[in-house]
Structure 1
Amino acid sequence: MGSGVSKSQQTRPVIGYSEDGNTSDAQVPYYTKREEYNSTGATATSKLNENGPTLSAVVMSAKNMAALKKKEKEEARENILLEHPELADAMDSVREYLQEISNKRDDDVTRKNMNYNTRQTLDQIYSLYFDCEEQEHKRILGDQLSQYNAGQICTDYLKVLSEDGINTPTKGYDADCLYTVRSVCWNYSDASLEFAAELGRTGSFSIFIADIVSFKSQLDDDFIRRTIIEPSIAILHNCAKAPGSKKYFTIANALDAIIPYTNVTYQELKMVAMMTLSYIIEEKDNDKISADGSMIEFILMYLKESINGIDHKYEGFSAHEIVSGIMHLASNDDNKLKIVKQGVLPLLVELLQDGNDAEKKICAKTVWVLSFKDENKPLIQEQENMMELLKELAGKSGKAKDAAAGALWVLANVERLEKKRSKNENEEENKALESKSSENAEVENNQQQPANDKTRGHVMISYQWGCQKLMLRVKDRLTKMNYRVWIDVESMGGSTLQAMAEAVENSAAVLICMSPKYKDSPNCRTEGEYAYKLGKPLIPIRIEAGYDPDGWLGALQGAKFWVDFSNLVAFEVMFSRLIKELGDKGKGDAQDLQLSPSQASRVIAKVPPRLLERRKPVNNWTKEDVLNWATKNQIQSRKVKSLNGESIVFLSSIKLSAPEFFYKYASEKLGITELPDLISLCRGLERLEL
């Protein structure tokens, strides 16, 4: 939720501490994502040339590109810090504060309370948020908190002080400490997606959800609502926007806890609950929130009011974040037509025409998502000024260019699809006739001609960027076995949709890397559905453990069995299965290292020799290899150094799939209790070439 108050209105709440650690004058600070409450208690408002050069000559290394983007991000941050030394000072303070808290946390957890100094230190971290005038500065500070495991620290204290959500205090010192922790979580989860994501990984959701369930009956108690319920739901809303967070909401059974708040009389709280659900609802549960359309109607009312409001805001919600929620709600196909029929299109047109760059981008992306519903296409095409605005945005540089081009592709590419379908059918018929004729033809001099079918086409990897490292590993293994591989290593945008289409059209098989992020990505859906409609052989690849695709992605999978790459320990077994599924599709002869310019514009099938440095697989590491790796990454734990390669791979796997267990295991079994040691271990695992 964006802040609804202007800078001139903001006043930072000040906590007065008495000697016993309680707030003086029974003054309870209302820490909020909105940054404060007013006096009434209400919130203040790359291409191949014509000669077909070898692939290794035109490859862009994904690793080099990732390193370049990381370097650019770091340089941008350094420039900000140079221009704003006060921000650099704040970051130094954050490091010191978190180290102080970490040194005392174990004792606090043992005693099941928060010491007075820690409470003051957390309040200082909270206060630093208000010292940042620019939103980007707040994001940098929030990212810094995440880097030093502040999310884990907050979660630990939430659990200790509330007895794991079973007995949350409403009065006294422990209750005041919880206000402080919630305040840090609320503000920084709004500023930083990295911090929001860490709150999910560390298990905090169960506490916030327990609180909104336990205190629902006390909703009309102004104190309870403002200090416990509203912060808890708002934090959940902020975290719902973080990539990869949906699974943690599922684990915490968040849906049934939040849905009752969509019917409360407190309008703003009702809106926060609805927007949170828009990010976390699964296809199978969609009927729980959209049966009568009232939720969509309420959200569209907020959007209309925000468009008419100052700075495109209404009761603290910006038009941008409302449209973003609508887009995520539309990810479920059952909602697409309802959203259009209830009048979203004129509102999107208004923002496409008069909004800022960010608003235009999210609106164009929302139109793209809505366009996947066939019944919506004529309604969108007939909406006054819609197509003209999309064409205008797609034709000029800007944030909305790629999204507008994507929407136009889905809306206006029927003719291309039909031509390609017809061409494919004719090719199949001709191939069948040629095969029949060749059965009766003599082979001159008993010499067989090279089989063109074997080298025709390539294996296309369709994936969402979150699994790029894994897919590049798959790509490398395939190319070593002479498969021709097409994989996008840049951000595939509207300007390269032509390249995507050609890659699909010229593919012999398409690997569909299934995950929640893939399902929610309009880019990925455009690729996947185009391949499906062209009748290309699809091989489902499971990326996330336990993920069972539904909706359009489930339909794409059909009755096919996936190749499960969600467990790195089983990589070799699964890769063998992938090869069995592929057969000769996309496989070329050893000397076949070229593709025609019509086949792709972003191809990685061979990597320059300097990038193909042979490394021993981590799974095969000896204890000596592990020791060298631990030393290089400054990992001090003797128990880590005694592990073998297979254990290291498994440790890396559970860090992603079961973070709570990972951190608990690291502390209790590996003896890693200090923050610097935990940081070294995590960074070492992230640098592994698995």
Structure 2
Amino acid sequence: MSALSYLDYLNSYISISLNDGDRCLIAHLNKSYFDEIEIHARTILAEWYSEQIIDAQSSLYIRNVGYLNRKLGLLTSKYHLNKNELERIENLLLNSEMIQLITSTIESIIETDARHQDNFLSDLLILIDAYTVINNSKTVFDQITKQVMQSKYYKQYLTEILSSTIKPIHVFFVGIIGQCAIPIHNPTFNKIYAEFFVKFYNGKHLTDNIAIQSCTLGILAQLDYAYLINDHSCISILRSIFINASSKVAKENHKNNFLLPILKIFNSLCIKSKTIACYLNSDQLVDTLLQYVTNQTDLRLNTNACVLLGHIVSDKQLDHLRISYKLTMKFVSLLDDYKEETNDILQSYLSLAIHTQIQSVIVDTYQLTDLIELSDDHPIIYDIIWKLSFHSNIVEQLIMRHDNFLKKLSLLPEMPAACGILQNVQLKNVPRLPIKDRLFSDIAVVSSRNDCLVIQKVHEYLEKSSFRIGTVQSSSEILLCISEETKHDCSCQAAIRQAVLDCKKIFLCTVKTPYRFDDWFRSLNIDEKKLFNTNESSIEKMMSEIQIDLNHNHNLPAIVKHTRIVSPLHQNIRINLTSNSSTPTLSLTTSLRQPPSVLSPRPPLKNIQSWTKGEVLEWCAKNNLNSFTKILTLYDGRSLLALAHVSRMSAPHMIINQLRNDCRRHGLNLSFVEFVRFQAALDDLLRVERLLTRRPAISTLAARYVLKRKPKNKT
């Protein structure tokens, strides 16, 4: 067989393999023609390395082998191949002879620019590009690609793509080597990368130019995340690229190579910064991600889209889209199916676990058991359970079902998450008692460690103003540094919950934007508080307010958990009925010196147990309980009294959490102030009910006494 005939013979098998489906290709991996194809490709590479001229047919053959090798490489990431199948693909593509040939060829290109304009280079690019989709190729080519990135030619061609026509040599250095190389962090390169995105993508439609697309992929692979975190404009461009590429895929029904790299970048950024996760969030991006989460055709895209959705989705979007249950179950499925990506999945699960809706699903589906089983191999599980344990029902399940896990936590005193979980468990059963400890400090600063650079400025102002800075327990005032990082920090949530239970004054200072006032931030009733920020004039105003508050000795008493209701003997209870309603109103007047006065006759009062639903709503309206007029529409008097008794017998944070859950289902936001009004109104209601039930009892006893004594008097 002549050389040309043999080339046609091999090309025919390449064509058949490219047209075959993935499953068919996997089934034929052991066919001998695959070995022949790779051997002949190495022969042509060796000829070019020895500076021989490559004819058009051989050049086209290398291009076709590149397409075939890329398809083979994608099989390793798209499917769960068995050991033999993985080894077969590795032997075909990553055998020592091929690796050595490619390495030597790249070395010859960076030694001199004599062959930088060679026509064969455009086909060689496609062959080397096949290795960009293989996971371990970066380590295989690490040494040679590092030399390329540090060579004078990389910077030269990277700079040229901003001002000249992109040629194969630009694609080789910036696109192909950029994808194969482990990222090199260079401030100069980072600025050029940002300029590249501004030039080619800012406000523009996605280009169909293959050369620009390849360079884009190389730059995406080299982006320094530490630099990118502070470049919101570049992140915004990447988000637009992702959304536009997704739209193009939906219209033209073909895959876009930008999607997966951008998803991986976003997921890495969200792990490093919750502020970036908040910045990335948009309804359009969430809708786009949901399309990939429900689409099972590309497993890598499906998994990474789900992970990013877990990082960025908001409390409001979960409620509006009604995806809490499906999203939670999707994460459970991912943890079962993708063991090699468990850490990334759990990082996203940690972000998702802050939402009350997700916590409720975990309670209802008893997912704690599965999470606890993963704790030995993945310490991040402790952080996830800590975040979940702020939900009262999660704590209930820990106590009732996972006693061994709690015992295990007691043996981990050095782990903050373990201590935090135990503290939340103990808070459930410990009554709130008045604070008797002496407060040695003026103010405590509650902030995330991730905001330390900004917080240092706040500390300097406090010290300059002569404030004594201490812990939450030892301070009379609390300064909460508002940011998305703070919201996701369990230690901050625990500290603020303690401060709220102790009725300490809380000041709010914005230290990093953007952020969302959702999840546990809602309990702070931020809309009714002044919000300061870190600019000089605002901080000075805040210092002045803190000082005024300290001067007035604004220390509210701690909340006390009551097990029964006792009316003070020195209070006179006056109950009146208005002309418009049968709802009783109650007023208390304190009189320490005067004896109780005799109550004048009053019109008969309607027993609260017999109230109708309408009368309950009238009671809510009279006490300005606007949220409760929505969630108590089906309550009659008997149900209202039951709610009153339950609220008095339970810890305040448990009741407010349950009421807030009910309010969210109606699209309402229950403030802390309204919750306090509700508790006060319930106290009054119980006093009224006790008074009403006491009077008939006295009358009955009196009647019995009179009836019993009548016969004796007649005789």
Normalised TM-score (structure 2): 0.54
Contact 1:508 1:536 in 2 (8 A): yes
Alignment of structure 1 residues 68-467 onto 2, 5 Å: 93=147, 96-97=150-151, 101=154, 105=158, 107-111=160-164, 113=166, 116-117=169-170, 119-121=172-174, 123-129=176-182, 142=183, 144-145=184-185, 147-148=186-187, 150-162=189-201, 164=203, 166-169=205-208, 172-184=210-222, 194=226, 197=229, 202-203=234-235, 204-217=237-250, 221=254, 224-225=255-256, 227-243=257-273, 244-250=275-281, 254-266=285-297, 267-288=299-320, 290-291=322-323, 293-306=325-338, 313=339, 316-318=340-342, 320-352=343-375, 355-356=376-377, 359=378, 361-383=379-401, 386-396=402-412, 401-416=415-430, 418=431, 421-424=432-435, 457-467=441-451
Q: CA deviation at 1:532?
A: 1.2
CA deviations on 1:474-508 (whole Å, 9 max, x unpaired) are: 3233234332112xxxxxxxxxxxxxxxx323211
The whole-number CA distance in structure 2 between the counterparts of 1:235 and 1:31 is 20
Partner of 2:118: 19
Q: Cα 1:546–1:517, aligned 2, differ >3 Å: closer, same or farther?
A: closer
The whole-number CA distance in structure 1 between the counterparts of 2:458 and 2:398 is 39
The whole-number CA distance in structure 2 between the counterparts of 1:481 and 1:91 is 55
Partner of 2:23: none
Q: CA deviation at 1:325?
A: 1.8
- Aligned partner letter, 1:423: P
The whole-number CA distance in structure 1 between the counterparts of 2:290 and 2:422 is 35
The whole-number CA distance in structure 2 between the counterparts of 1:411 and 1:471 is 30
The whole-number CA distance in structure 1 between the counterparts of 2:472 and 2:498 is 7
Is 2:532 the counterpart of 1:564?
A: yes
Q: CA deviation at 1:581?
A: 3.6
Q: CA deviation at 1:23?
A: 3.8
Q: CA deviation at 1:210?
A: 3.4
Q: CA deviation at 1:580?
A: 1.8
The whole-number CA distance in structure 2 between the counterparts of 1:586 and 1:388 is 49
The whole-number CA distance in structure 1 between the counterparts of 2:315 and 2:545 is 32
The whole-number CA distance in structure 2 between the counterparts of 1:160 and 1:252 is 26
Q: Cα 1:100–1:251, aligned 2, differ >3 Å: closer, same or farther?
A: farther
Task: Give the superposed CA RMSD.
Answer: 4.1
- Aligned partner letter, 1:264: N
Contact 1:329 1:335 in 2 (8 A): yes
Q: Cα 1:104–1:174, aligned 2, differ >3 Å: closer, same or farther?
A: closer
Contact 1:371 1:410 in 2 (8 A): yes
Q: CA deviation at 1:528?
A: 1.3
The whole-number CA distance in structure 2 between the counterparts of 1:290 and 1:561 is 31
- Aligned partner letter, 2:250: S
Q: Cα 1:409–1:373, aligned 2, differ >3 Å: closer, same or farther?
A: same
Q: CA deviation at 1:560?
A: 3.7
Partner of 1:472: 456
The whole-number CA distance in structure 1 between the counterparts of 2:165 and 2:528 is 51
Contact 2:386 2:421 in 1 (8 A): yes
Q: CA deviation at 1:540?
A: 0.8
Q: Cα 1:552–1:163, aligned 2, differ >3 Å: closer, same or farther?
A: closer
CA deviations on 1:120-177 (whole Å, 9 max, x unpaired) are: 1554454342xxxxxxxxxxxx4x51x52544433433454557551332x6433333
Which residue of 511, 529, 538 corresponds with 2:506? 538
The whole-number CA distance in structure 2 between the counterparts of 1:552 and 1:95 is 47
5+ long unaligned stretches in structure 2: 1-75, 107-115, 554-715
Aligned residues: 447
The whole-number CA distance in structure 1 between the counterparts of 2:189 and 2:403 is 46
Q: Secondary structure at the match of 1:544?
A: coil
Contact 1:249 1:255 in 2 (8 A): no
Contact 1:457 1:506 in 2 (8 A): yes
Which residue of 509, 519, 533 corresponds with 1:551? 519
The whole-number CA distance in structure 2 between the counterparts of 1:368 and 1:301 is 22
Contact 2:533 2:539 in 1 (8 A): yes
Q: CA deviation at 1:95?
A: 7.3
- Aligned partner letter, 1:303: L
Q: Secondary structure at the match of 2:161?
A: helix
The whole-number CA distance in structure 1 between the counterparts of 2:125 and 2:521 is 57
Contact 1:31 1:183 in 2 (8 A): no
Q: Cα 1:278–1:290, aligned 2, differ >3 Å: closer, same or farther?
A: farther
5+ long unaligned stretches in structure 1: 38-83, 130-141, 307-312, 428-452, 487-502, 589-690
Normalised TM-score (structure 1): 0.56
Contact 1:348 1:363 in 2 (8 A): yes
Q: Cα 1:518–1:22, aligned 2, differ >3 Å: closer, same or farther?
A: same
Q: Secondary structure at the match of 2:207?
A: coil
Q: Cα 1:528–1:23, aligned 2, differ >3 Å: closer, same or farther?
A: farther
Partner of 1:578: 543
- Aligned partner letter, 1:287: D
Q: Secondary structure at the match of 2:544?
A: helix
Q: CA deviation at 1:281?
A: 1.3
Look at both structures and tell me which one has the larger radius of gyration over its CA atoms.
2
Q: Cα 1:248–1:379, aligned 2, differ >3 Å: closer, same or farther?
A: same
The whole-number CA distance in structure 1 between the counterparts of 2:472 and 2:232 is 36
The whole-number CA distance in structure 1 between the counterparts of 2:390 and 2:175 is 47
Q: Secondary structure at the match of 2:445?
A: strand
- Aligned partner letter, 2:452: Q
